[in-house]
Structure 1
Amino acid sequence: MTYTEAYKEHIVYTFHSFCKVVIRHAAITAWRDQHRRRQKEISLEYLTEEKFYPLGTTDEYFEAPYEEHPITICGQTVVLTNGELAAALLSLPEKKREIIFLYFFGHYTQWEIGEMYGRCRSTTGYQIRRTLKLLHKEMEVFSHGES
């Protein structure tokens, strides 16, 4: 089917007018969305001058100086900055403190710790998990006791 030159020109003009309408409505939608957003936004100047909201805050955690809590485990001194953790560790038996020290600070595996204490790997893993649970409970007791 052959199209005449006038029909082809009509199709081009129709397509151009369709594109113009689409672009115009997209611009109207964008303007409308921007207008709605402006109505809902609050300026920073209004917040700082009228409502007196501070621009920044400082956490109390960083304001207080660190308190150091030295603990000696396995002949080495570990300095902790968390008093609750230090108290919870000191409340555990010496053997359990040594296991925690070797696992977290000495980077020993459960198998190596089990070899050192004459136990199999699965028992040592159980011992470490159990000790961590006890430590977690002790920390909860200390944190609730101070509040």
Structure 2
Amino acid sequence: MNEPIRTQWQIRCAFNGYCKRALQNEMLAAKRDIKRRQRREVTFSDLTSQEEKQLFVCDQYFTDDEAEKSFVIAGKEITAKLLAEALHSLPEEKREAVLLYYFFDMSDVEIAKLHNIPRSTVQYRRTSSFELLKRYLEEHAYDENDW
């Protein structure tokens, strides 16, 4: 016995029914997962202070002088504190050009637009700052052999 040929309409209805059933099953599975997760979840207001402290970590960078990181270049010890002092020794406009360029990844053109000055002025401030930084670090850095 041959099965009667299904019409396009019947095939479409069967496929729609299959899709609807699949979507319903997915919805039920999602609801079940959400309920399972909600049973295990705890709101922040329900946590004890001990449990709250386990949720975060505080970094302790440069809290004491012994822990301060340094590096030695050409026999001179350079510390983060010394580098910060060297940057603070620069005139404000030069310091700002250096910080914006190297720490905020701004181009000379962007810095020039920000301050309404020519791009060449920004480049001069930035490059001339290196000579000042170099002199400051040479004068104030500790020799490795001085220890």
Question: What TM-score do the two structures reach when normalised by structure 2?
Answer: 0.42
Q: Which has the larger radius of gyration?
A: 1
Relative contact order, CA 8 A, sep 6+: which one is greater? 2
Question: What TM-score do the two structures reach when normalised by structure 1?
Answer: 0.42
